[in-house]
Structure 1
Amino acid sequence: MSMNVGSNKHDDDVIIDVNMTPLIDVMLVLLIMFIITIPIPNNAININLPNGTPPPQVNDKPPESVDLRIDAQGKIFWNEQPIADRQALEALFQNVSTKSDQDQIKLKPDRMTEYKDVAMVMALAQRLNITKIGIISNNTP
């Protein structure tokens, strides 16, 4: 820092000017240091991908798609065929679970279906190790 004193001896006021150049230099050096030390954002997602070739298909017949519909009254339909009771649904699920390549089950509950009916079907499928099941919704009013 420096101080500039006026040269006029008759002037009683002292003029103090702060030299800003060193302050600006220090600020620029600090700014550059902060920019250098900021870590580069890494948005990578680690995914464990399978290695090698996929196993050969044992069955030439591809898995079927099953439409499992539940209406507003809780009645269950397997490919538009009504199912009498829970034991009949369990027998159909047993048939699917015994296949090496399970059929894909598309569960389509009605908008007014009670949750307990959908939960019963999902719990039964989980208990019988059905792995290819999905819920298809219809969001139109």
Structure 2
Amino acid sequence: MAVSLGGDSTGPMSEINVTPLVDVMLVLLIIFMITAPLMSHSVTIDLPIANPNAKTPDLKTPPLDLAIKVDGSMYLNDQPVTDAELRAKLLVEAQLTPQPQLQIRADREVQFMVVKKIISDAKGSGMVHVAFMTTDAPKG
């Protein structure tokens, strides 16, 4: 602790000695200045050139629309399906390239356990893209 060297006050000084702090900061600055260029090592690769005149095939597949009513009945693309039929169709659709998106439209009153079971069936069959269809919030 530093002690006052003169004047009327004989008590300890209340100032902080910043010299050690400056020394540590300078050492850290030097370390970062040395290591920063080493961290920006880049790998050079030759990227392909895009041809804007080339026609790209339309690989978009139509989505699968699954509607779930309050009573638990399910409709895949407006056709009634059972649980077993749904799993079988999801297995077939999961093998397609590109894979279609499964869009789930569940009634507001449907219990979440029903939707959760369908999501787990879709995941188990290999479906990757699952979406939920909703309506806009009422304005007012």
Matches within 5 A, 1:51-90: 60-83=58-81, 85-90=82-87
- Aligned pair in 2 of structure 1 residues 33, 124: CA closer, same or farther (>3 Å)? same
Q: In the alignment, is residue 116 of structure 1 matched against residue 113 of structure 2?
A: yes
Pairing partner for 2:18 from 18, 22, 29: 29
Q: Secondary structure at the match of 2:18?
A: helix
CA distance in 2, matches of 1:108, 1:126: 17
CA distance in 2, matches of 1:69, 1:94: 18
TM superposition shift of 1:82: 2.3
TM superposition shift of 1:34: 9.2
Give the TM-score of the pair, scaled to structure 2: 0.58
Task: Give the aligned residue type for 2:22.
Answer: M
CA distance in 1, matches of 2:118, 2:94: 14
CA distance in 2, matches of 1:136, 1:35: 57
CA distance in 2, matches of 1:82, 1:36: 71
Q: Which residue is 1:13 aligned to? A: none
Q: Which residue is 1:130 aligned to? A: 127
Task: Give the aligned residue type for 2:126.
Answer: N
CA distance in 2, matches of 1:64, 1:28: 71
- Aligned pair in 2 of structure 1 residues 17, 139: CA closer, same or farther (>3 Å)? same
Identity of aligned residues (%): 16
CA distance in 1, matches of 2:117, 2:5: 84
Q: Could you say what the CA RMSD is over the residues aligned between the two structures, in angstroms?
A: 3.9
Stretches of 4+ aligned residues off by more than 4 angstroms: 37-40, 137-141
5+ residue gaps, structure 1, are 5-15, 41-50, 54-58
Alignment check: 8 A CA contact 1:2 1:19 kept = no
Give the TM-score of the pair, scaled to structure 1: 0.57
Q: Secondary structure at the match of 1:100?
A: coil
CA distance in 2, matches of 1:137, 1:34: 60
- Aligned pair in 2 of structure 1 residues 80, 3: CA closer, same or farther (>3 Å)? same
